[in-house]
Amino acid sequence: MFQKLKSHQFLFEELVKRDFKKKYKRTVLGVAWSVLAPLLHLLVMRLVFTRFFGRNTPHYTTYLFCGNLVFSFFRESTNEGMTALMDNAGIFTKVNIPKYLFLFSKNVQCLINFGLTLCVFFVFCALDHITFTWRFLLLLYPIACLVLLNLGIGLILSALFVFFRDMQYLWSVFTQLLMYVSAIFYSVDNYSPRVQRLFLVNPVYVIIKYFRVIVIDASLLSWQYHLLMAAEALLVFGVGCWMYKKFNHKFLYYV
């Protein structure tokens, strides 16, 4: 896979540039929307949920931003990845190139947006009097796992979307449900230990919790937690690769 990516490096770079420019085409603020959109979403969530959930949560703005930051990246990346094949059907039906290039380029474009938002997140941390420590460097680990998770789900969704156009509506409903079970605006501490363990089945929550522990608590998680995060991301990515390999030859008949 990586050898093919290297051999098609020029095409891959052009796809990333195209997707990034296309996203902000004919907008007045352009790239600024990649920062403004999550900020406005955060502002709405803070106004709505602070009164009900944030009274006893220290650094609630940062707590909320951690969840919103991770989930927004996840949702954008998977939504963009789902339509990656269909949006580029006119290319791969005429030229024999690896089809996952289109999905990967979408994810790189979303990763760039995430990086811009992450810079704003660090500014909010400073305003919220969060102490910056060397542990912030460990955030690279959950980000890497999140990228791998997004790629895996993108591979699955884009393959299914070729055969079933209903996937975009089903995924919209599912992500809405996933948002509520990812503890973005509330804490799971009031639940029983058994219920708290159930939250760990959700890989998005696992990554959100990692962000919060590092940023807000300035603590380190166990090696078992690191292993769990990697295992969930690798499992999803493995399933996605398997689906692409299994149905790759059928895509041309359905686009």
For 81-115, what is each residue's pLDDT tens digit? 898 878 777 776 677 777 778 888 888 888 988 99
Question: Would you list the domain boundaries of the chain?
Answer: 57-253
Look at residue 236 in the predicted model and tell me its pLDDT.
96
The more confident residue out of 10 and 130 is: 130
CB 210 within 8 A of CB 229: yes
Q: How far apart are CA 51 and CA 79, in angstroms?
A: 31
Which residues touch 144 (CB under 8 Å, ≥6 apart)? none
Q: How confident is the model at residue 179 (pLDDT cuts 50, 70, 90)?
A: very high
Nearest residue to 155 (alpha-carbon basis) of 253, 78, 70: 78
pLDDT(185) > 80: yes
Could you say which DSSP state residue 135 is in?
G
Which pTM was predicted? Answer: 0.86
Q: How far apart are CA 193 and CA 222, in angstroms?
A: 17
pLDDT(245) > 90: no
Q: Mutual orientation of helices 140-163 and 223-247 as an angle, nearest 10°?
A: 30
Structure tokens at 161: 């979307």
pLDDT(45) > 60: yes
Look at residue 101 in the predicted model and tell me its pLDDT.
82
pLDDT(252) > 80: no
pLDDT(118) > 60: yes
Q: How confident is the model at residue 174 (pLDDT cuts 50, 70, 90)?
A: very high
Structure tokens at 109: 């474009």
Nearest residue to 115 (alpha-carbon basis) of 104, 125, 105, 107: 107
End-to-end Cα, the chain, rounded Å: 23
Q: How confident is the model at residue 8 (pLDDT cuts 50, 70, 90)?
A: low
Burial class (CB within 10 angstroms; exposed 0-12, middle 13-18, buried 19+) of 27: exposed
Q: pLDDT of 65-75, one tens digit each? A: 899 899 999 99
Q: pLDDT of 19-39, one tens digit each? A: 666 665 665 555 666 667 767
